[in-house]
Structure 1
Amino acid sequence: MTAIVATCVAIGLIAYMLTTSSGNPDASAESTPNNQGDKVEERLPKSVSPVEYRLKIIPHLEDGNFTSSGELWITMEFKETTNKIVLNAREITFHQVEIVSLAKDIAVTNVTVKNDSELVIVRVNKLLRKGESHKLYIRFSGILNDVLQGFYRSSYVDSATNETRWTATTQFSPTYARRAFPCFDEPSFKARFRISLGRRENMTSISNMPLKSTQDMPNMPHFVWDHYQPSLPMSTYLVAFIVTDFDNVQVKDSSQPVFRLWSRHDVIDQTEYMSKIGPSMLRFLEGYFKIPFPLDKQDIVALPDFGYNAMENWGLITFRESAMLVNEKEAVAEARQNVASVAGHELAHQWFGNLVTPAWWSDLWLKEGFATFFGNMAVNHVEPTWRMTDSLIQDLHDVLVGDALESSHPISVGLNHTDQITQIFDSISYIKGCSIIRMMHHFLGAEVFRMGIQRYLRTYSYRNAEQDVLWEALTYEARLSENPVTYITVKNVMDTWTLQTGYPVLQVQRNYKTGTVTVFQERFCWAIAGCQDSTESWWIPLTWTTQSNPRYNDTMPKAWLWNPTLELNDTVPDDQWILFNLGQTGYYRVNYDDRNWKQLAQSFETLPPVIRSQLIDDSLAASRAGNLRYKIAIDLISRLENETDFLVWNAALNQLEYIHDKMHDDADYNKFMLRLGRKIFETIGTVEKQNDGHRERRWRGKIMKWACIVGHEECRQRAHQFLKNWIEMPPAKENPIPANLRSWVYCTGLKHGGKSEWNFLWNQYLKTTSGSEKTVLLEALGCITDDAILLSYLEKSISKSSGVRKQDGWWVFRSVAGNPIGKDIAFRFLRENWVALNEYYGSGFSAVAKMVTALPRYMNSETDLKELETFKDSVKLGVTSTAFEQAIEQVKINEAWTTNYKKQIQDILKEI
């Protein structure tokens, strides 16, 4: 490499040896958490912009030497005159830093590494002037870490040889490219990348672009360089490369781009489902956006260790195994739908995120919300019988729960430091983002929405964007079609949904004498006293219909509510109901007066399933928040006795779960639930039928699991028998329990079983090669009621040799914390192992934050609250700060609910 540098004319001849760790820097370099005299914030200055990276890097996987070494040339343009270059690096050792320039007298004078802000400052001896172009050369080394960030190591055991095989792979989003090589690690600094990967001859490498050439590595026998074609302009978080011994299969009917699927040899046959849906989804999205996928190939890789579900790296999408692989014998319908949804999400990112990239992480939703929305659309294209609209509504119900916390955050949120970035990779950015996009899709109309999206993508291809330019594109198309929203602009409407925390509840008041209807809005919160100092107001698209002329599919707004109160032009007879938010397309709740609720309840069975699910969700939420008497809500859900639609039952079970957590040992409550569920229990049954569709297979286990929880005796006996029969079978026999029933059977069997059953299922977890089956088992293993086993199970989550992969440790914790008996055990484990957990998991995918979030489910007392607050005050929060804030708020809500409503519900149930 020295020869390459020498051929460039001149060059800063000063080279530095330094490390990024705090310690004793040498005389020519500084490594400090806070270098006095040069205050630099975490954000990079805009004075320098990268044009191209030339990166040569080799991972060292031999003999446990988990490091990397590389050389880097960054071609830069100077937007302002400066004498320093500021870029990002973390856990990088700098061996040589030089300026490669036609100007012979430019030399590096000082390199400062700021550990706290992950910045590196390279100073030179003269001013680099605006408009000039220079090249920075860096020789460096790094760490192949095991915290699933940056350039990291992953391993698996080969079933044929029982040998451990190592893979070096990457996860750079959101801020981890800097852990692999020094770079301008912010999304607005797009550049081209020319990547060369070093590897052993018996391994393979993959990167974003097609392979250009391979050459022997000088002075290293049996090693080669793989040189890749230059990339399109892209952000650092989308760069990816892997060195591995995986197998691959090429999809036969995917001529452009070429689709290749990669996995370890033992599970390569489980890529078949992805080979069927992936190319079809990509072609569908190309047709919708009217912009061809710009690369010649698309590699899709299943990794044994991966912190997220998947990552949309351009041309090289990486997945955790359970999110990509489908074992046809063991994959449950839920897992198959998850694989399709994740695939659709990542492929939609090729346009939303990769082609057009948010300028900063504050607008994360611009890629994640849209990828979720269009990912669902792509799944609906390849699996039209799955009713993906139902999934959008189920997700809406879920996110409305978390977004009703006062400690929620806006979709577009200001970020000051890197710890905050990972905390917004949550349901607000993904699901709320998707839900407000769905709302736009309805109030603009499908065609206007589509044309606006196409305009946005065309205009900002290979560039960065903020949400205002999206509003401009949508408003432009709306004006062409004379859509009424143009009189207020899309920005006027949507800023109220993206820049404010939470969402509104539409309060409906009727004058039954005059027939008039008045609506007003206020922020919806779980706090019984309401949101503190709440003055928010939203532009709400109002859709409604009446009993005399029901039009449930008319989702274009009849009016807009932007002031606190509005009186409708329509009048309604006193003996008929009015219904708002048709199809629950708006991101808000609706609450009526008691009389209208009763009228809706009387017509409940005649309403469409989506409306029935909405009424169940809104009524129970209103009661939980103190805005509706529980007697009204319970009268409505009593109609579930004749209900067999899964969407409606999903809404009911999601809301009733909160009540159940406080009343699971109440006999009258369980008796009431058994009565409500009798028909659905009998209809769906405990045995899979040959003619079952996807929805039946997906929902049977969940319905039966609930039946067992509330005491359905046949359900418990059946689960016990299923598990007993399997345990008594010869070891070589396949699992006889239908895949879609296993979650119910495993959990119920362990709840009423003991150590021998637990050990049996634990051994099955260790043996299975199915990622989805491992997930089912991990959740179920926390269902046992033995304290010692639960503690032992938690300890496996911080043991490298236990068999629980680091990516799955938080599932272990959540399964124990989600057990009423395990709540205290989990909390004690978290307190006693806080330092160990944070060191083990790092901050990458916020595993410890997810553990904190799992705590409050059964914490309902003042004692619980004080213990949690004391614990929070005693630890360093980092990426767990939001999780603690929301957990504490949730415990406060739980305590208030228990005090105010538990006795009330008990009295109501005694009268039924």
Structure 2
Amino acid sequence: MRTISLVSALALSIACLAVPATAQQAPANPSAAAGVHTDLPRVAHPSHYAISITPDATNLTFTGTSSVDLEVTEASPVLTLHALDLKIASATLTPAGGAAMPVTVTMDAASQTARFAAAQPLAPGKYRLDTTYSGVINTQANGLFALDYPDKVTGKDVRGLFTQFEAPDARRFAPMFDEPIYKATFDLSAVVPSNRMAISNMPTIKEEDLGKGLKRVTFGTSPKMSSYLLFFALGDFERMAKEAAPGVQAGIVAPRGSGEQPRFALDELAPLIPYYSEYFGQPYPLPKLDNVAAPGQSQFFSAMENWGAILTFERILLNDPAITSASARQNIVTTQAHEVAHQWFGNLVTMAWWEDLWLNEGFASWMETKATAHFHPDWFPLLGRVEGREAAMGLDGFKTTHPIVQEIKTVDETNQAFDAITYQKGEAVISMLESFAGETVWRDGLRAYMRDHKFANTRSRDLWQAVEKAGAPGLTSVATDFTTKPGIPLVKVTGLTCRKGVSTVMLEQGEFSIDRKDQVAGQPQQWKVPLLVSAGGEATRTILDGGKGTVTVNGCGPVVINAGQLGYYRSLYTPKMLASLKTAMPSLQPVDQMGLIADNLALSTSGYQPYAPALDLLAAVPGNANPVVASSAFGRYVGAWRTLEKDPATQKRLAAKVAATWKPRLMTLGFDPKANESLPDADLRSTLISGFGTMGDPDVVAEARRRFAMLASNPKALDGPQKTTWLNIVARNATKADWDAIRQMAAASNSAVERQFLYTLLGRPADPALAAAARDLALTDVPGKTTSAAMIVAAAGLHPDATYDFAVANRAKIEGLVDAQSRVTFIASLANASNDPAMLAKLEAFKATVPAEASRPVDRVIGGLTERAKARPLFVKGLTDWLNARKK
């Protein structure tokens, strides 16, 4: 699953100087899964489900029948399965070779279970549980849900149905053993309108005409898989497909009328299947892999890896030349690479319980970058790992952090596990471990892991053992440190000498923290930290194990103790070394430029050093830097400019300094795309235009207004990859007339993606009255059920306090606009940009209304705001002093 990143408050502000199945092995008997958490009694496990549903899209209900083949392994008075929002009308239990027995059904909404009790206790043996039931079709992405969207030809609203089951929502579709370890095969059929296309994990094997405009669609039997990977979709779709590998077809399923919009995604999807098959040493085991475009959005996720039928929201799957930007095209590629990686890491081999969710998400995040670098090295995707690491450290530096492998017992805790620790820290640690093991040994270990555990479940230690056995002694101890201990190592240079071309670097290990520096200074955790140290020559590998260490490295150039930025730790240099790095900055590798700036800004923000050295490094990035480095550096300046909102004079000085370096780069790129330019250059143009627009650059704002005015005579005047960039600038500076014009454009658009974007823009104005109007509009049916939440998030960007108050005052309605998984996170995150001390008390009051196990997102925002209140004035002073010093 690709989630929506909800970063901490501190990271959002000060640190925002930031940015047929084959032969299958049977899984281990779940009843013997010692130490693996479960909500169910370990007395039975399923082997096969046969589910048939009849959806009523108009009335948002469905009926279903289910037959579960299962084995009872211990005598038990009842069978307990998961079930949520289902009404079970009847149920029978049939022992193998025996007659059906009626059973009494007891529903328990609190535990999300159904208990099936026969007249006599059940003896061990094989049974079939048959149920007839009904359920609800939701309007947010939980269980079976509906999305309304404009027909691409007529503009009339049409409805599609989709499913989203991760983590705990397959139980909304049928009674199930809805935990990852309970793998089974699935047969699915559905009675649907004859003129609609139905999609599931496997291809359709039969369609029967039932008359009266209905048909029964039957899909092939799935491989053994966890319940959360089951998928169903129904709608007025069309499918574009091509062969990806012998016997495997890749397809993009999109709303009818999409035309060539799926072509880019399909051409990127197909090669991933043989690439991953070769890398993991296991062929893709299904006959097809579809990616289904869902016209809508979620505040929790952007795509889901259902086996053989990925679900991706249309805005990051279809390439619409009228609105798709360069960054959106890149997101199409990386999102697909992430979800296709899951077909192996997560689907073929699945974590035993959600505590090892990172085995799915961290690895898919790591593999998406690796695959993108393989197919598109000119995009410099490996540089993105620096920003990913920073996103993780933005959470991991707080006391509210958690280990990568974390204890999870409840549904609420499971939902909160989808965060930057699981994804980005997971990716960062995996990148470090691959470097430690070596690429070949690492890959060989993964191949062995896949071979030995396919169609089964694992825990983290199974992977470490496989890689160690492949030839990486000591990896388990390093991996265990970084996955079971929360927090961030701090590696400090305490001394440096260089004689006869050899540098000797003295190091000390501590622990970096944002909000408990005194505590970790006294009793820091210790990690076995893999280092790659360079001094202008060949880098040296070593492990800092314990408090202190020394490393010698060839060369007397500027020392980088995290060369290549693959280590998950903060690097603290001496002032003399930082001065040397500042001088060398233009000639350093791009990844080291990004990593050094990120590290030093974070260290300065958290009080480990003054601001001047970090800002000097940022200023040393030349205007002709790598486009990804340039985009990152410029973004940090824009973040700094925002922080000076109460000091317009200093804001103006900073803007002038930024313009002196980066305006010439924009002028070289030009305001319009150029033929055959690189994607990073196209993305940098958008970043520069957007940032200068935010800072009120008169040339850029005037150009945005000029282009917006052209729409009066030509509605397609802005069509193209820069459309979203220019309209964002207009929206931020919108008048009431501009706001009304954007609203009219949204209502008239036949594109679901464009309509969502335009309605979201209505929340972006700096004018508080217009932001309030957007919030009010969001509570109506006009924008669409899945767009309203995005409008409210947009309004919170410049008006966090008013938007948070609005959400709390309308809490019931707001919660109906977001997925169940993210309701607490959504409301709390609206306060991320607040600078009002009163917000802390408001958040504490809100926290008191949510279950204790669901309160971590609130604690994170409180911690972020608390620290930012301390750091902000220090940053403003540090930046002002730095500007004054550079003026002399």
Normalised to the residue count of structure 2, the TM-score between the two structures is: 0.90
Separation in structure 2 between the aligned mates of residue 329 and residue 677 of structure 1, nearest angstrom = 30
Separation in structure 1 between the aligned mates of residue 155 and residue 297 of structure 2, nearest angstrom = 22
Q: 1:162: Cα distance to partner?
A: 5.1
Separation in structure 2 between the aligned mates of residue 751 and residue 196 of structure 1, nearest angstrom = 49
- Change beyond 3 A, Cα 1:774–1:616: farther
Residue 86 (structure 2) aligns with: 92
- Change beyond 3 A, Cα 1:546–1:469: same
- Change beyond 3 A, Cα 1:754–1:236: same
Q: Look up the equivalent residue of 1:238 and give its one-letter code.
A: L
- Change beyond 3 A, Cα 1:631–1:150: same
2:825 counterpart (849, 864, 880): 849
2:845 counterpart (846, 853, 870): 870
Q: 1:853: Cα distance to partner?
A: 1.9
Residue 387 (structure 1) aligns with: 380
CA shift digits 1:231-258 (9 cap, x unpaired): 1111100111122221222326766312
Residue 684 (structure 1) aligns with: 666
Equivalent residue runs for 1:34-53 within 5 Å:
43-53=39-49
Q: Look up the equivalent residue of 1:427 and give its one-letter code.
A: A
Separation in structure 2 between the aligned mates of residue 106 and residue 203 of structure 1, nearest angstrom = 36
Identity across aligned pairs (percent)?
24
- Change beyond 3 A, Cα 1:767–1:436: farther
Higher mean C-alpha displacement, 263-272 vs 772-781? 772-781
Separation in structure 1 between the aligned mates of residue 767 and residue 284 of structure 2, nearest angstrom = 53
Higher mean C-alpha displacement, 309-318 vs 359-368? 309-318
Residue 810 (structure 1) aligns with: 789
Residue 910 (structure 1) aligns with: 884
2:409 counterpart (416, 436, 439): 416
Separation in structure 1 between the aligned mates of residue 853 and residue 796 of structure 2, nearest angstrom = 20
Q: 1:610: Cα distance to partner?
A: 1.6
Residue 101 (structure 1) aligns with: 95
2:535 counterpart (523, 541, 546): 546
2:868 equivalent to 1:894: yes
Check the 8 A contact 2:165/2:228 in 1, yes or no. Answer: yes
Separation in structure 2 between the aligned mates of residue 516 and residue 571 of structure 1, nearest angstrom = 9
Check the 8 A contact 1:810/1:848 in 2, yes or no. Answer: no
Q: Look up the equivalent residue of 2:356 and give its one-letter code.
A: D
Q: 1:42: Cα distance to partner?
A: 6.9
1:410 is paired with a residue of what secondary structure?
A: coil
2:218 equivalent to 1:264: no
Point out where structure 2 has 5 or more consecutive residues left out of the alignment: 1-36
1:498 counterpart (483, 491, 494): 483
Check the 8 A contact 2:153/2:750 in 1, yes or no. Answer: no
Higher mean C-alpha displacement, 514-523 vs 698-707? 514-523
- Change beyond 3 A, Cα 1:534–1:279: farther
Residue 5 (structure 1) aligns with: none
Separation in structure 2 between the aligned mates of residue 258 and residue 571 of structure 1, nearest angstrom = 52
Residue 188 (structure 1) aligns with: 181
Separation in structure 2 between the aligned mates of residue 904 and residue 221 of structure 1, nearest angstrom = 74
1:640 counterpart (621, 637, 642): 621
Check the 8 A contact 2:296/2:753 in 1, yes or no. Answer: no
Separation in structure 2 between the aligned mates of residue 571 and residue 296 of structure 1, nearest angstrom = 53
Q: Look up the equivalent residue of 1:719 and give its one-letter code.
A: A
2:223 is paired with a residue of what secondary structure?
A: coil
Check the 8 A contact 1:701/1:743 in 2, yes or no. Answer: no
Check the 8 A contact 2:244/2:271 in 1, yes or no. Answer: no
Q: Look up the equivalent residue of 2:53 and give its one-letter code.
A: I
Matched residues, number: 840
Higher mean C-alpha displacement, 749-758 vs 434-443? 749-758
Separation in structure 1 between the aligned mates of residue 527 and residue 756 of structure 2, nearest angstrom = 40
Higher mean C-alpha displacement, 616-625 vs 602-611? 602-611
2:805 counterpart (799, 805, 828): 828
2:839 is paired with a residue of what secondary structure?
A: helix
The structure that has the greater radius of gyration is 1
- Change beyond 3 A, Cα 1:643–1:853: farther
Equivalent residue runs for 1:359-758 within 5 Å:
359-478=352-471, 483=472, 486=473, 488=474, 490-510=475-495, 516-527=504-515, 529-530=517-518, 535-547=524-536, 550-551=537-538, 554=539, 558-569=541-552, 577-640=558-621, 642-653=623-634, 655-656=636-637, 658-666=639-647, 667-685=649-667, 686-688=670-672, 689-724=674-709, 726-731=710-715, 734-736=716-718, 738-740=720-722, 742-758=723-739
Separation in structure 1 between the aligned mates of residue 827 and residue 687 of structure 2, nearest angstrom = 23
Separation in structure 1 between the aligned mates of residue 703 and residue 617 of structure 2, nearest angstrom = 31
1:542 is paired with a residue of what secondary structure?
A: strand
Q: 1:543: Cα distance to partner?
A: 1.1
Separation in structure 1 between the aligned mates of residue 757 and residue 84 of structure 2, nearest angstrom = 36
1:73 counterpart (49, 67, 76): 67
Residue 33 (structure 1) aligns with: none
Residue 60 (structure 1) aligns with: 56
Separation in structure 2 between the aligned mates of residue 95 and residue 634 of structure 1, nearest angstrom = 67
1:405 is paired with a residue of what secondary structure?
A: coil
CA shift digits 1:864-907 (9 cap, x unpaired): 3233323433x335885222111000110111113444334323
2:338 equivalent to 1:345: yes
Q: 1:673: Cα distance to partner?
A: 4.2
CA shift digits 1:659-717 (9 cap, x unpaired): 43431343224413432442322123242333421111111111222223334332222
Q: Look up the equivalent residue of 1:97 and give its one-letter code.
A: A
Separation in structure 2 between the aligned mates of residue 728 and residue 707 of structure 1, nearest angstrom = 25
Higher mean C-alpha displacement, 779-788 vs 119-128? 779-788
- Change beyond 3 A, Cα 1:780–1:639: farther
Q: Look up the equivalent residue of 2:627 and give its one-letter code.
A: F
Separation in structure 1 between the aligned mates of residue 290 and residue 578 of structure 2, nearest angstrom = 53
Q: 1:318: Cα distance to partner?
A: 1.4
Residue 30 (structure 2) aligns with: none
Q: 1:168: Cα distance to partner?
A: 2.6
Q: Look up the equivalent residue of 2:713 and give its one-letter code.
A: M
Check the 8 A contact 1:704/1:715 in 2, yes or no. Answer: yes
Check the 8 A contact 1:356/1:457 in 2, yes or no. Answer: yes
Separation in structure 2 between the aligned mates of residue 681 and residue 546 of structure 1, nearest angstrom = 33
2:812 equivalent to 1:838: no
- Change beyond 3 A, Cα 1:719–1:569: same
Separation in structure 1 between the aligned mates of residue 203 and residue 805 of structure 2, nearest angstrom = 51
Equivalent residue runs for 1:313-324 within 5 Å:
313-324=306-317
- Change beyond 3 A, Cα 1:310–1:634: closer
Q: 1:642: Cα distance to partner?
A: 4.2
Residue 120 (structure 1) aligns with: 114
Check the 8 A contact 1:187/1:359 in 2, yes or no. Answer: yes
Q: 1:571: Cα distance to partner?
A: 9.3
Separation in structure 2 between the aligned mates of residue 354 and residue 238 of structure 1, nearest angstrom = 7
Check the 8 A contact 2:406/2:484 in 1, yes or no. Answer: yes
Check the 8 A contact 1:684/1:696 in 2, yes or no. Answer: no
2:105 equivalent to 1:111: yes
Separation in structure 1 between the aligned mates of residue 48 and residue 685 of structure 2, nearest angstrom = 54
Residue 4 (structure 1) aligns with: none
Separation in structure 2 between the aligned mates of residue 880 and residue 298 of structure 1, nearest angstrom = 35
2:289 counterpart (268, 285, 298): 298
- Change beyond 3 A, Cα 1:783–1:151: closer
2:764 counterpart (777, 783, 792): 783
1:82 counterpart (76, 81, 88): 76
Normalised to the residue count of structure 1, the TM-score between the two structures is: 0.87
Q: Look up the equivalent residue of 1:128 and give its one-letter code.
A: L
